[in-house]
Amino acid sequence: MSTPKRNRRAGVEDLWRDLKKPRPLLDDDGTQLLNDDGTPQTTPKPKLYGKGKRWRARYVDDDSNERTQRFERKVDAQKWLDDIVASQVTGNYVDPVRGKITFASFYNEWSSRQVWVPGTVKAMNLATGSVTFSTVAMADLRPSHLETWVKAMQDKPLEPGTIKTRFNNVRSVLRAAKRDKVLGEDPSERITLPRRRRADAAMVIPTAQQVGALVVEADIEFDAFVGLCAFAGLRLGEAAALQVGDIDFMRREINVERQVQRSNGHAVEIRAPKYGSERTIPVPDGLLKLLALHIEHWRHESDEPTRWMFPGEGKHPMHQNSVGYRWRRIRKAIGADHLHLHHLRHFYASGLIAAGCDVVTVQRALGHSSATVTLNTYSHLWPDADDKTRKAADALFKSSTESTAYPLRTESTE
């Protein structure tokens, strides 16, 4: 049975009360009580009389614990108490004991309870380990601490995208602290971050000729891998974790159900795709033929549906290192050292958009967590209102001029 919570109460009391006019002590019938020497008995002095500060403010916190603070003046005690009560009402209350914990100590305590994959653990540790306020008490954190840290990252220098990622990871810690009543106001609000370059200026999209050359240059053990990234938009880890049974040749579909990750740079792990992006992707006939040839090449290994499409060492599939080695070799062979394997995913997305696919269709094909993520990444590839207006007007122009019996004048009548 749970312990009932104490009633919320608050007030200011005088610890030196009844000193100026001691009250007489009376018997039940109202008779004055006397001391042994015959002098009238009076109320005793408070135990705290003359000890410490006179006024004590007290209240009950969210965990039913009574908190107190003493002051020289009643007005100061009342103001402190009013601020506490207001913070409890607005949800900005900070536990005075818990608020003394440093940022680093709170993160260590909080992170130990989180259900994170190894990649998230690494990213969070990297971000929180880079802050310049790790020894500052949570209740003392100010926006200036965050601004100093952001400026230090910019001076290193770190890319704006890296700074934003680390900032958001640290912000998640601060928000957790606010929920736990360790932090009042979130100091990360309204912090200005370095501006990122426009997505269309930073994004690299391989040409169709480059993608074709990459597939041709790759050997029989890797050409299907390149095809999956370029013509199905799979991430590296998703393509590496593909099994024979994930390809449905009858329905012309691929089921993405897992990904390969390396923990601490060594151990190979198989787990759910990024952001829970399990999905089924329609596959073009050309890619299906490429995959069929690849399966035929490895048929001597096993015909089981759970066989890895791209076997690695031992029982494991290929992983980031083995894929990276093959990728660097073929891109060098075609003279495209600037291309990354992830750029093939941009190639796939741009092709879907150019073909007229809407944002939800592209989101589902790429396995993004939301349409917002897709738009933030690829919005510049969709035609804007001017492009649509121009195309519609062009269609009207052609239909009107082609149907008239009078051809357009091509030279002056003068």
Give the whole-angstrom CA distance, residue 25 versus residue 22: 9
Q: How confident is the model at residue 174 (pLDDT cuts 50, 70, 90)?
A: very high
Kindly state whether residue 7 falls inside one of the protein's structural domains. Answer: yes
Alpha-carbon dihedral sign for residues 221, 227, 230, 236:
negative
Kindly state whether residue 361 falls inside one of the protein's structural domains. Answer: no
Residues 309 and 236 in one domain: yes
Q: What CATH number has the domain bearing residue 171?
A: 1.10.150.130
**Tokens describing residue 254:** 């691929």
384 conformational bin, left if phi > 0, alpha if psi -120 to 50, beta if neither:
beta
Residue 386 has pLDDT above 60, yes or no: yes
Q: Of 298, 329, 345, which one is at a domain's C-terminal end?
A: 345
Provide the β-strand partners of residue 311: 317
Give the whole-angstrom CA distance, residue 309 versus residue 322: 14
> CA nearest 377: which of 361, 358, 356, 363?
363
Among all chains, which residue has been given the structure tokens 């919570």?
A: 5
Kindly state whether residue 109 falls inside one of the protein's structural domains. Answer: yes
Kindly state whether residue 129 falls inside one of the protein's structural domains. Answer: yes
Q: 71: domain range?
A: 1-19+47-93
**Tokens describing residue 62:** 């969210």
> For 333-380, how does the pLDDT look when each residue is reduced to its tens digit (9 = 90+)?
999 999 999 999 999 999 999 888 999 999 999 999 888 888 888 888
Give the whole-angstrom CA distance, residue 402 versus residue 400: 6
pLDDT number for residue 87: 65
Residue 60 has pLDDT above 80, yes or no: no
Residues 178 and 256 in one domain: no
Residues 340 and 212 in one domain: yes
Residues 276 and 191 in one domain: no
Looking at the structure of the chain, the number of domains it has is 3
Q: How confident is the model at residue 231 (pLDDT cuts 50, 70, 90)?
A: very high
Q: What CATH number has the domain bearing residue 296?
A: 1.10.443.10
Residues 336 and 238 in one domain: yes
Kindly state whether residue 289 falls inside one of the protein's structural domains. Answer: yes
Helix (H, G, I), strand (E, B), or coil: what is residue 17? coil
Average pLDDT of the residues in 144-151: 95
Q: How confident is the model at residue 77 (pLDDT cuts 50, 70, 90)?
A: confident
